[in-house]
Amino acid sequence: MTIQAGSEKLGEDSRHTLVTPEDVSTPDAAETATLLVLLPGAYMKPDDYKGFIAGLRGCLKGKVALWVAAAHPIWQEVDVKAPDAMQQATERVAAAIDVLIARAHQEGFPAAKLPSGRVTNMVILAHSSAALFAAPLAARLAGSLILLGSYLFPSSDYHASLREFSRPVLHLGGMLDGQARFSKVAIAALEAAHFAYQAGPMCAAAQKPVILLPGVNHACLSNGHMRPEANDLAAEVSAEDANLQVAGIIADFVMVHMSTNERFVAHPGELVQAKLASEDVQRRFVRIASRNVKPKPVTRVLSSVHTDIEAFIRSQPTLQLYKGESEPYWLLHVHCYLHRPNLVPFGHRFPVAPQYILKLKSAEALALVYTGQIPDGREDGSLGDQPITAATVNEGMYKEALRIVTRDSRELFLRRGKQLSFPPDRDVSKEIQTPVQWIKDMPLEFVDVGPKATQVCSPVVMTPAVQTSGKPGPEAAFQGNYYMKIMSLAGAVEWIMCDGLRPSSHQP
């Protein structure tokens, strides 16, 4: 659906366009709503980008409710000889963005707007010379920025540094772009490489990617009409092929940063802590399962930490035997999802630190594989009298958090905070219809049970440990699994220093 926007106010123009998603009424549409604001380059109009926009909508169909607002470049109509031409143009760009946000909101776009005015589920895409205005505006108004066939421009009040840029930014261009030539993007690539060295390649790839497409020129990034007079080079690929490549990369960037910058991207330290915590819990099961096995099996535990809920839903813990260079070993691959309670309306009321949703193998399942026999023991993944439960794991996190916080924070919490206790886990194995129900609808519960007391209870799911063929596949993947939800250490610290100090909701 295409809508024309127009009035006599600054920034409004009947030539601006807004394309809404096909269906904006579903819950998923509200959750994944993302507004892409397109700022055309010199001599370009909104229709000049319909090729890759169509490809982008195709890539994101069923994944993101994409709203595309394309501004007619009214800033290019400013008298360039005027002494305040740059100021006039910038004001027009900012006004056009405001108009497009308002128009999208009128048509149902749920803008995730902060008190500062920044819309975190908006992406500004600036093509070519439009980047001159886009960078400072994106830092103030948007969740992320895409520079198409361009790079960060310095200005009198803005230092063009990718390293210091406060929002995720994608540089996307062509190796044969004769206008925004690759050598102009080289500085951004250098800074991205330095950032990757500091933060890690995965974080840099998500936050500050710099991509140059082989065989693509400047024209391929818009309508395909080459302008030799502007020093563009002849392309080696068709405009259609370039459109698909551009659409695919932008779709990935939008997916990573949709709705809130934190939803699919985590700080490297968070990922490492989640990996260590989930592997530690699984290794406890391994130690119990192998305590009476001689010789002890060599088991390597590997955890994949997920920030994409769909990928996590489709993942199951697996145990496979490998020959190894010197001796055979079992590779136990488990999964951890970073659940963020604050990524909801009024998110400031909830902790920033993530919770861990774990998919592990139970001790019973491991012992069955190691010995070939179903062991005697309780069906709680612990074998006998050494229980390993979400409650015991959470209690350990809580005690460690009390140990590592400052003395002042600890004393304040012990004096006026809500002390945590950990009742037995709630086994919901027979209550749920699908694992998705457990993941999405059954939270790690914090229940105030007194003026200074809160209980933390995890819903857990356990599948029976039974003999299988031993071959990887659906049969083995769903046998002997242990799903639990636990606090992160950061979450326990946040409780002690913030959430645990709030008034109790307990009613006598």
Query: Strands 459-462 and 481-487: what pairing?
Result: antiparallel
Predicted pLDDT of residue 343 = 64
Q: What is the DSSP-derived secondary structure letter of residue 249?
A: H
State how far the Cα of 3 lies from the Cα of 24, in Å rounded to an integer: 15
Segment 474-488, tens digit of pLDDT: 445 568 899 999 999
Q: Which helix (H) or strand (E) holds 210?
A: strand 210-213
Q: What's the whole-model pTM score? A: 0.54
Query: Strands 453-457 and 445-450: what pairing?
Result: antiparallel
Q: Which of 331, 267, 329 is nearest to 302 (CA)?
A: 331
Segment 214-249, tens digit of pLDDT: 999 999 999 989 988 888 888 999 999 999 999 999
Predicted pLDDT of residue 469 = 52
Predicted pLDDT of residue 34 = 92
| Contacts (Cβ under 8 Å, ≥6 apart) of 80 | none
Q: Which of 126, 248, 242, 128 is nearest to 184 (CA)?
A: 128
State how far the Cα of 492 lies from the Cα of 498, in Å rounded to an integer: 10
Whether 438 and 407 have beta carbons less than 8 Å apart is answered as no
State how far the Cα of 295 lies from the Cα of 371, in Å rounded to an integer: 11
DSSP per-residue letters across 140-160: HHEEEEEEES--PPPBTTB--
What are the backbone angles phi and psi of residue 103, rounded to the nearest 5°?
-65, -40
| Contacts (Cβ under 8 Å, ≥6 apart) of 252 | none
Within 13 Å and on the Cβ side, how many CA atoms surround 303? 26
Segment 60-102, tens digit of pLDDT: 888 888 999 998 888 777 777 777 777 888 888 888 899 999 9
Predicted pLDDT of residue 100 = 92
Residue 9 corresponds to which tokens in the numbers above?
């106010």
Q: Coil, strand, or helix at residue 311?
A: helix
Spans of the chain below 50 pLDDT? 1-8, 156-158, 259-264, 377-381, 472-475
